[in-house]
Chains A and B, each alone.
Chain A
Amino acid sequence: MQTFVIIPAYNEASVIADTIRDVQKFYKDIVVVDDGSKDKTSKIAEIAGVKVLRHILNRGQGAALRTGINYALKQGADVVVTYDADGQFEAEEISRLCHPVINGKCDVVLGSRFLSGNRIPLFKKIILKSAILFTRAITGLRLTDTHNGFRIMNRKAAEQIKIRQDRMAHASEIVHEIARLKLSYKELPITVKYTIYSKRKGQRLSGAFHILFDLIFK
């Protein structure tokens, strides 16, 4: 089983090396997609010894994931992991999340920060919970966390899920695709650390409105 870890990154020069090092302890096929960063993200990733795909223009996280996933599939990946660059996740949790997919129990595993006892900032919680209700209303999937970058897909799912949203709305889109394609999925608890860095870089409230706009009009 060949597992590829896709890490979309945009201006993450200060943390990308740590994130890569963490993942490298467990996996060797790592693809960093530098989404047109203005800093040294791609250079640092290259030095760290992973495959770097560089977007010469910023196209958004959805586009970066698409680039990474397509590349991994071409390299013959059996399992595709999407992982955030900002160091919020724990690399040691990847293998636990991969288990159900590798054992053929389901096509997709979605990480959920609400299933484990993470301390989530209140404001963030309100935004995320509204997104979850919105997704539930539209897709009928009873998920506990829809905007989470930690996902595992088997080859079939990675091939079938079409990410058309270039920007942040891809997260909802992936969930919609799971519903449409009737893929089997499972949510598992993950640890999400809210560091000062990730809070500063993370999505703001305006981001939620952007996502809503993209979903309705695109």
Chain B
Amino acid sequence: MNFDDIDLYDRLLSLPDAQLEDTTFGVVAMDADHRVVMYNRTESTLSGLSPERVIGRHFFSEVAPCTNNFMVAQRFETESELDATIDYVFTLRMKPTPVRLRLLARPDAPRRFLIVQWS
């Protein structure tokens, strides 16, 4: 499973959480209110935050406020159907790291995803 796979969203939705833990990219799954429902091991290791600290929190305002802007949060909020890849900079463990983000949302899907690929 790769960051750029065309059917990435479908595969993320179909696989059980256990099989999403050790991907080469970070996976953040959110509900329709953008509360975190799954925070995979790769993402957790990168950020230094354990899933327990993150699950249930509003991702854009309570976990990663640096994404609370027009480039990320606003797109999730205004576009119900979304599959976009953007260049971004994350400050994982306070280290500015260029990343690629894939924003996945569909009105009928139970989960939305923010996928993080670091360079």
Chain A partners chain B: no
A residues near B (Cβ < 8 Å) are none
B residues near A (Cβ < 8 Å) are none
